[in-house]
Structure 1
């Protein structure tokens, strides 16, 4: 979890995709760098991506922007649907509120508002699945794709469950918090505990301070999460992705099995998989250097592809 200095990020701006308004901002450092758009995870706002990680990406030559997905943060929240439980939403035959194509188009709308014809994409958790779909639906807008801690973007229903640790999912389903600022803080702390690597000690004080700085009700808004999960993909399989692809996944991820990252890398032609030791379903500071270095090398190799082997 993170929070943001008001001077480090631009004032919030808005992109529009039909009736949906999408909140986004841009890092004030390295604004003339290579465009890189961040897509965040299930239900949460854009402040969950740590400022320190974003600044390290800027130091690697990227102009960093981030946005709240629909039904998250300051972006438009859609009306309630009959499916109000994220687990139930996984098995729904179709999304009641919107499609996964709509969510992919949201990212393109943010790029339009930024006046970016194309950008590097970094999608985390649900954002990773969204970024994969953007690469399928808007390939000309994607310079490179980095999918982190995500399931394959074309997995639905029971096919999704093979990648999810059911014990952790059940723990999430049992979490109940009041719809108050205090409830949002408690939810943020509980989520951070569940998503951290079980093989490393958790800094409880840092987790609490981060939750208090970023009071995000989306962490426990199961109705909004259900609408996001319920958004069905009707496009081609991820094997059709033709953009340079990097797959990052924590070896200790307690929610999404590393096998999900392996599946993505095996199905996308030319994709490269990097497993991050000691990392859960999170973005801990100890992993920032590895993550930003891998993304920089990925972008550079896309600009300068390796020479074909000599004959």
Structure 2
């Protein structure tokens, strides 16, 4: 989990998609750079994306903004759905609270609120699946697409099993923490431990300090996670993505197998796959130069403004 220094971020603002209000902020450094929007993962708020990584992206020429998914962080939390267990939602592919199209439209609403006609997209974990769907549903808004630690955005239910480490999912399912500030901190430490690379010593003190700076109740809000996972995609396959695409994945990811990244890279035309050695389902500082360098190289090869692309709905 990352620390988050409020002084380097704008005040939180809200974008609107129907009845949903989406919390977002923007890095105050290099606001005139190329727009880059970061979409976060399951149950996690925007503070999980490390400030240092965002500042490195800014130094490489990007104007960085981040937002909380619906049912996460400071964004709108929806009423309970029929499926209230995230494991059941994952493996049955059932959910009735909202669709994956709604979540893709959320990202477009944030772009509108930022005044960005188009942007580079970086999605992590669940956010990686979301940005894949944005590239399908709103291709004219996407300059480049970087998906990290994610499964293919057009699969659900039992088809997901081949890419998920069930043992880690079971450990997540057993986590129980009180709905208190300390419970949020404890959840942050526990989740950080589960997603870290097993090849490196886990720094519990640093994880606790980071969790204390950005406690996130969404990490143990099982019903909200079930609604996010249960959001089903009804659009075209990811093979229809027509934007420059980078697929990043930790070689040691203890949650999502690298086979997921290989599947995305194989199916998205022209996609580049980069496996990050010694990286789990996380953003360790040692990987920041490689991650930001790859995103910069992708942007440098972008053919131009995608405004003329018609949306696929």
TM range (shorter): over 0.9
| Map 1:193-212 → 2, pairs under 5 A | 193-212=193-212
> 2:262 & 2:94 partners in 1: Cα distance?
27
> 1:115 & 1:44 partners in 2: Cα distance?
25
Write out per-residue CA displacement over residues 87-107 of structure 1, whole angstroms, 9 at most, x where no aligned residue. Answer: 101244542100000000000
Secondary structure of the 1:29 match is coil
Q: CA deviation at 1:193?
A: 0.3
In structure 2, the partner of 1:66 is 66
Write out per-residue CA displacement over residues 51-86 of structure 1, whole angstroms, 9 at most, x where no aligned residue. Answer: 000000000000000000000000000001231110
| Map 1:76-115 → 2, pairs under 5 A | 76-92=76-92, 94-115=94-115
> 1:212 & 1:70 partners in 2: Cα distance?
23
In structure 2, the partner of 1:33 is 33
In structure 1, the partner of 2:123 is 123
Write out per-residue CA displacement over residues 269-297 of structure 1, whole angstroms, 9 at most, x where no aligned residue. Answer: 00000000000000000000000000000
In structure 2, the partner of 1:141 is 141
Contact 2:83 2:95 survives alignment (8 Å): no
Contact 2:2 2:50 survives alignment (8 Å): yes
> 1:14 & 1:220 partners in 2: Cα distance?
24
Contact 2:92 2:158 survives alignment (8 Å): no
Contact 2:20 2:70 survives alignment (8 Å): yes
> 1:91 & 1:284 partners in 2: Cα distance?
29
In structure 1, the partner of 2:236 is 236
Q: CA deviation at 1:302?
A: 1.4
In structure 2, the partner of 1:257 is 257
> 2:46 & 2:18 partners in 1: Cα distance?
21
In structure 1, the partner of 2:5 is 5
Secondary structure of the 2:7 match is coil
Using the TM superposition, name which of 174-183 and 263-272 deviates more.
Answer: 174-183
**Structure 2: gaps (5+ residues):** 305-313
- Report how many residues are paired: 304
Using the TM superposition, name which of 241-250 and 90-99 deviates more.
Answer: 90-99
Secondary structure of the 2:6 match is coil
